[in-house]
Chains A and B, each alone.
Chain A
Amino acid sequence: MTTRIFSSGIRRREDPRLITGKAAYTDDVTLPGMAYAAILRSPHAHARINSIDTSAAAGMDGVLAVFTGDDINAEFNPVPCAWLVPNSDLKTPAHPPIASGVVRYQGDAVAVVVAECRYAAEDALELIDVDYEPLPVVIEPDKAMCDDAPQLHEDAPNNQAFHWVMTGGDVDAAFDDADVVVGERILHQRLIPNAMEPRSAVAQFTQATGELTLWSATQNPHIARFLTHVVTNLPEHKIRVIAPEVGGGFGSKIPYYADEVIAIFCAIKTGRPVKWTATRSEGYQSTIHGRDHVEDVELAADSDGNITGIRAKVWAGMGAYLSTAAPGIPTILHGLMYSGAYDIPNVKADVYGVFNNAVPVDAYRGAGRPEATFLVERLVDKLANELDVDPADVRRKNFIPAFEDGHDVATGLTYDSGDFAMSLDMATEKIGYQELREEQKRLRAEGKYIGIGITTYSEICGLGPSQVAGAVGFQGGLWEGAIVRFHPSGKVNVAIGSSPHGQGEETTFAQIISHELGVDVDDVNIMHGDTSQTPMGWGTYGSRTTAVSGAAVAIAARKIKDKATQIAAHLLEAAVEDIDYENGNFFVKGSPDQAKTIQDIALMANVAWDMPEGVEPGLEASTFYDPPNFTYPFGTHIAVVELDKDTGRIDVNRYLACDDCGPQINPMIVEGQIHGGVVQGIGPVLCEGAVYDEDGQLLTGSMLDYALPRADMFPEIETSSSVTPSPHHPLGVKGVGETGTIASTITVYNAVMDALKPFGVEKLDMPLTPEKVWRAIHANGKEN
């Protein structure tokens, strides 16, 4: 009898190596003869390089080589952008691995030193003499498009990287006819993702065979292999990329970076394995940032509160170059979500991608969808304020009615399944919403200020159908490969193309195999991260690993079951249609005591002494799963904050997350994803944000200066869930990696604005630090 394993919060199988310090991340890899690379980075945000003198550094003891842009750019191609959003006049200025002639952000690579140890390599950087001629700088995305703004790239006039417009319905007519229009300017500050493991790469090139091995802290080793080929011209079958243990990513380890290319170049040129590991402060200048939106947003409604239109003009900072997926984030993953959880007939997104003298921007947890949810839910709250009705009631009035098998929204997407009213009811009931509103009224009378914020969201994940990926300009597919292999002893290897780095799929995918085939989870080994051992797949991001890669695993397992049924029928001398299956046992209908176990069948399939006519030996199946649609998790989050009017301090007193990601394979892991996502989303509301000065100097250039959420900032996050299966997914699952972040930023922001209402404060730019809140309270001099 197999224990019920699906929907069970079993302990993670990856943890023993992690809690004992035995797990090996990229920086823990040491190879014989390994040398170390350190990269000289520009101190200027924009400057011409008149000359570089590397002679003193090259002559230092322990230094093996020094390379500049002239060396690497002569042999390697520029680092490409891989999301070429169509119909947007996209400009893709070349991004050389090491700057050539001009540096365009503080942190742009200028030279690299390879030395016997990391200390020597860093010493040598100080001996490189670079003559810079500073150029004018622009940081704010909207200002970068003004006529007199400094130009970053000759081939991108006005610093415009692209202009993308999405319309659904007739938005202008909706605004012309509206009884009520509300709007505001929203700023999403730049965020620094801060995965705990700094980025790292180890490159080893074997001259004799022409083979390159790259250990890399990446979320997608197969993409990294392909792009290594594109940049270096090495043949792809001679390239092996290994993502060993990876210490978080949150999107920041999706992109293919110049730094990996530099490490590869150094390994080829010196004939030594070369390790490069970013320091944290170096990472702040060279690992992608997130968000950086300036948005003018508006909502149209009738006097009853029925929403008739939403439109937004967005300036999205791209940084100095287009990172791997950058153009797709503020467009496809943002504008297409303007319907949120509502039936809004008319929508328009008008998005400018803008080059600015800052670190390139790319996907950061949620990637475009937190910003979309923010603007929709902010506008819905403003509408409620304008009409003086409860924010929950405005939401209920406008929700898409419950649907189980597809609902088209004006942006052109077809949501798979959802029940937003149920979700809101569940959350308001659980937190005691009416009582909270009464308490709020009572406390205000006592001079105490709490605020309540509600968000009901729909999000898009499980990226995605490859045909759609192609149509929206993603330069790859979005399917996932899986191979399930039974060994003679009945143990199972599962090789997957995706690359988990903390999400726990070594456990959940073993649960899928156990659920489908009745083997013990401890008899299943999930292999990932090494391109030489795994089938092709596009990686772990966009809440897609369980939704896409997990589906591939389930389908491969079902192929195994079909073949096992054939073998069982043969061994039991019965017809295939007479075989029943239960918990890993195959038996003739009505005779469960005469069963063949999956292990019996695995042994027979592998020794193949007595196989059915025409059936090949082995018990192995591979699948390449291309999803027919995206998946659309949804939910409602409610936050209660308390404002200290004397200090401006905001405390989050309660936070409730009610999420629906379909059936949960491992509820413990699902809850963990929500906890982490919620906290990551609250950080930017209360404390986080990258700050550049007008010269393009990153003032928040270290962990000392950039305010990350700490353990003592949060209450216990309350969680609850509903289960609405995806109609098109083999297991019904949707994905949960980003829901917390997508919902929590606006939930807490709206709660703070609710608390500030008595003071007449209607808008504040994040982060809502005590000083900013205090000033806003006192600027209006109003307190009712």
Chain B
Amino acid sequence: MQVETKISINGKDYEGEVEARTLLVHFIRDVGGLTGAKVGCDTSQCGACTVHVDGVAVKSCTMLAVQADGTSVTTIEGLADDGDLHPLQEAFWAKHGLQCGFCTPGMIMAAAKLLEANPSPSEEEVRHGLEGNFCRCTGYQNIVRAVTEAADAQKEGAE
């Protein structure tokens, strides 16, 4: 069954007829042509496909595109503000929070919502908050450092 679906991704509307079973992540990648969200598993464990749907962090492989019809989606490509890196992007770079980079888009998108919910997380809270995202390269340590640093930077920015 083909379903007309319209989703705003990073402020731009994408619409098309898609099969009802099309996953949101495939809509973003195939219809939107935005390949920042990665498909790292098929059981919703890895978190590499994490995006924001109407302001909520969602593993976009757990949602059908038709369920996201009419929503506003932000992907890693839409996170930087007019070319200025988001504090998390900046911190992942500065703290060596990535190696192969495959988990990074999902990790950053998940961390962004973590910091919205808890602007001053402890190291333990960061580790707990990111347990839904796998990284195989970094041993997580520099990711934790990056998220903590971004939290500090956001606070300074707000002051």
Residues of A that sit less than 8 Å from B by CB: 9, 11-12, 14-16, 18-25, 27-28, 119, 194-198, 245-248, 250, 277, 279-281, 501-504, 668-669, 671-672, 675-680, 702-704, 708-712, 714, 716-717, 740
15 A-B residue pairs with CB within 8 Å: A15-B92, A20-B76, A27-B39, A28-B29, A196-B40, A247-B101, A281-B43, A504-B99, A675-B141, A676-B99, A677-B139, A714-B139, A714-B140, A714-B141, A717-B141
Q: B138 and A21: CB pair below 8 A?
A: no
Known contacts: A11-B94, A280-B43, A672-B99. The answer to whether A21 contacts B105 by CB under 8 A is: yes
Q: B104 and A18: CB pair below 8 A?
A: yes
Return chain A residues, CB-CB under 8 Å to B38.
Answer: 25, 196-197, 247
Return chain A residues, CB-CB under 8 Å to B89.
Answer: 19-20
Minimum C-beta distance from B47 to chain A (A): 10
Return chain A residues, CB-CB under 8 Å to B41.
Answer: 279-281, 702-703
Give Cα A675 to B146, complex, Å.
14
Residues of B that sit less than 8 Å from A by CB: 19, 21-22, 29, 34-43, 45-46, 48, 75-77, 79-80, 85, 89, 92-94, 96, 98-105, 108, 123-124, 126-128, 130-131, 133-144
Return chain A residues, CB-CB under 8 Å to B130.
Answer: 711-712
Q: B138 and A716: CB pair below 8 A?
A: no
Known contacts: A21-B36, A21-B77, A196-B100. The answer to whether A702 contacts B92 by CB under 8 A is: no
Give Cα A250 to B135, complex, Å.
13
Known contacts: A20-B76, A703-B45, A717-B139. The answer to whether A197 contacts B40 by CB under 8 A is: yes
Q: A25 and B139: CB pair below 8 A?
A: no
Give Cα A639 to B139, complex, Å.
16
Known contacts: A119-B19, A194-B136, A502-B101. The answer to whether A19 contacts B46 by CB under 8 A is: no
Known contacts: A21-B34, A711-B130, A712-B128. The answer to whether A676 contacts B136 by CB under 8 A is: yes
Known contacts: A19-B104, A280-B43. The answer to whether A196 contacts B138 by CB under 8 A is: no
Return chain B residues, CB-CB under 8 Å to A708.
Answer: 134, 136
Give Cα A295 to B152, complex, Å.
50
Q: A703 and B43: CB pair below 8 A?
A: yes
Return chain A residues, CB-CB under 8 Å to B142.
Answer: 672, 675
Return chain B residues, CB-CB under 8 Å to A246.
Answer: 100
Most buried by B among A14, A20, A27, A196: A196
Known contacts: A21-B34, A21-B105, A198-B40. The answer to whether A711 contacts B140 by CB under 8 A is: yes
Chain B residue at minimal CB-CB distance from A245: B101
Give Cα A669 to B93, complex, Å.
12
A196 CB contact (under 8 Å) in B96, B128, B136, B141: B136
Query: Besides A12-B93, A197-B38, A714-B141, 7 other CB < 8 A contacts?
Result: A9-B96, A19-B101, A196-B38, A197-B40, A702-B41, A711-B131, A714-B127
Give Cα A703 to B21, complex, Å.
22
Minimum C-beta distance from B90 to chain A (A): 8
Known contacts: A19-B89, A503-B99. The answer to whether A28 contacts B46 by CB under 8 A is: no
Chain B residue at minimal CB-CB distance from A673: B99
Q: A195 and B96: CB pair below 8 A?
A: no
Give Cα A676 to B94, complex, Å.
17
Return chain B residues, CB-CB under 8 Å to A709.
Answer: 139
Minimum C-beta distance from A18 to chain B (A): 3
Q: B134 and A710: CB pair below 8 A?
A: yes
Q: B141 and A716: CB pair below 8 A?
A: yes
Minimum C-beta distance from B69 to chain A (A): 19
Minimum C-beta distance from A465 to chain B (A): 28
Q: A703 and B46: CB pair below 8 A?
A: yes
Chain B residue at minimal CB-CB distance from A719: B141
Chain B residue at minimal CB-CB distance from A27: B39
Return chain B residues, CB-CB under 8 Å to A504.
Answer: 99
Give Cα A281 to B42, complex, Å.
7
Q: A21 and B75: CB pair below 8 A?
A: yes
Give Cα A669 to B92, complex, Å.
13
Most buried by B among A20, A198, A248: A20
Return chain A residues, CB-CB under 8 Å to B139.
Answer: 675-680, 709, 714, 717, 740
A669 CB contact (under 8 Å) in B96, B101, B143: B96
Q: B101 and A18: CB pair below 8 A?
A: yes
Chain A residue at minimal CB-CB distance from B40: A196
Chain A residue at minimal CB-CB distance from B78: A21
Q: A502 and B39: CB pair below 8 A?
A: no
Known contacts: A196-B134, A198-B40, A714-B140. The answer to whether A19 contacts B102 by CB under 8 A is: no
Chain A residue at minimal CB-CB distance from B21: A119
Minimum C-beta distance from A145 to chain B (A): 33
Give Cα A27 to B75, complex, Å.
18
Q: B46 and A21: CB pair below 8 A?
A: no
Chain B residue at minimal CB-CB distance from A17: B101
Give Cα A493 to B131, complex, Å.
40
Return chain B residues, CB-CB under 8 Å to A712.
Answer: 124, 127-128, 130-131
Give Cα A702 to B41, complex, Å.
8
Instruction: List the 6 closest pairs (A to B, CB-CB), nearest first.
Output: A21-B36, A247-B102, A502-B100, A18-B101, A679-B139, A21-B76
Q: A19 and B108: CB pair below 8 A?
A: yes
Return chain B residues, CB-CB under 8 Å to A281.
Answer: 41-43
Return chain A residues, CB-CB under 8 Å to B85.
Answer: 19-20
Give Cα A745 to B19, complex, Å.
47
Q: B77 and A248: CB pair below 8 A?
A: no
B35 CB contact (under 8 Å) in A24, A280, A502, A714: A24
Give Cα A292 to B143, complex, Å.
31
Give Cα A780 to B73, complex, Å.
57
Chain B residue at minimal CB-CB distance from A668: B96
Most buried by A among B46, B79, B128, B130: B46
Give Cα A250 to B42, complex, Å.
21
Most buried by A among B98, B104, B136, B138: B136
Known contacts: A280-B46, A712-B128. The answer to whether A22 contacts B92 by CB under 8 A is: no
Return chain B residues, CB-CB under 8 Å to A671.
Answer: 96
Q: A502 and B99: CB pair below 8 A?
A: yes
Q: A679 and B93: CB pair below 8 A?
A: no
Return chain B residues, CB-CB under 8 Å to A703.
Answer: 41-43, 45-46, 134
Q: B93 and A16: CB pair below 8 A?
A: yes
Give Cα A119 to B30, complex, Å.
12
Q: A279 and B96: CB pair below 8 A?
A: no
Q: B100 and A248: CB pair below 8 A?
A: yes
A197 CB contact (under 8 Å) in B98, B100, B126, B138: B100
Minimum C-beta distance from B110 to chain A (A): 11
Minimum C-beta distance from B83 to chain A (A): 10
Return chain A residues, CB-CB under 8 Å to B39.
Answer: 27, 198, 277
Give Cα A136 to B75, complex, Å.
49
Q: A679 and B35: CB pair below 8 A?
A: no
Give Cα A36 to B15, complex, Å.
23
